[in-house]
Amino acid sequence: MKTKNSPILLVVLFILAVLFTFPFVYLMGGALKTNDDALTKPAQIISGSLHFENFAAVFTEGQIDIPIQTFNSFVTTFAVTFGQILVAALAGYAFARIKFIGRDPLFLIFLATLIVPFELLFVPLYLMLAKWGWINTYAALIIPSLGNPFAIFMFRQFFITVPKELEEAMLIDGAGYLRVFWSLMLPLSGPPTISIFILTWLAEWSGLLKQMLFTTDKNMWTLQVGLNFLNRGAQVTTPTIAYLMAGIVLASIPPIVMFLFLQRRFVESVAQTGLKG
């Protein structure tokens, strides 16, 4: 049975759509202005002439190296995403199905860390990584981000919903916990895996603070850090706002494409992920 949408609901949805898309439209308009117009006419959304050469100019700016920094962004983003999924899936399975002393209190401690902002850990984490000699390495950008309490919670809640009979049948046949995890639990965990993949990928790609803190070498910067320093330096006399906006538009393409391809799976995975206590 089809239901008619209320006109008021359609108006509200249209207003929300305009509010959410306006920043990107404004960003795209600024990227197509001359630099003078971007500086002196910020209220103008789209200028009379479109300057697509701004996108090419981003690649010639001496302060950033788009190819290297884009490569760094892809390496760290995918490494953190897949590593976080593996670690969270293993921990979630242990908390859901393996009985050991202190399991429930330890899980509550993991959940409690959700309220601790990552910014509070910057100083001790930096000192620890500096002592290990990890500053300006991929290890500093990847390993500290592998443990995600929210991802562990998502996998744990999903594994609770898997029928125990499937696991017991494998255990009776002589399979160990790791064999059960790799052969049964992990292949079934598509819903939380898709959710964590999208959320982690988007967060890591757009990350800035961690990447700025743990990298000082220009060759180790990610794309977001490179764009942050586009208008800095002794050689910069006039801010290149138009180039910066063009760079942000280019940096927005991968996450937009990623989400467009996986948005349906993301909604389905959220709906299928168990929230059973």
Is a pLDDT exceeding 80 seen at residue 272?
Answer: no
Q: What mean pLDDT comes out for the span 182-205?
A: 89
pLDDT at residue 1, rounded to an integer? 44
Q: What percent of the chain has pLDDT over 70?
A: 90
User: Predicted confidence band at 81 (pLDDT cuts at 50, 70, 90)?
Assistant: very high
Any idea what DSSP says for residue 143?
G
What is the set of domains in the chain, with CATH numbers? 7-272 (1.10.3720.10)
Q: What is the mean pLDDT of residues 187-192?
A: 87
Q: Predicted confidence band at 113 (pLDDT cuts at 50, 70, 90)?
A: confident
Average pLDDT of 41-61? 81
Residues contacting residue 227 through CB under 8 Å, at least 6 positions apart: 64, 244, 247, 248, 251
pTM to 2 decimal places: 0.84
Q: How far apart are CA 16 and CA 9, in angstroms?
A: 11
What torsion do the CA atoms of 102, 106, 108, 109 make, to the nearest 10 degrees?
Answer: 140
The chain-wide mean pLDDT, for the chain, equals 85
Can you give the pLDDT at residue 161? 87
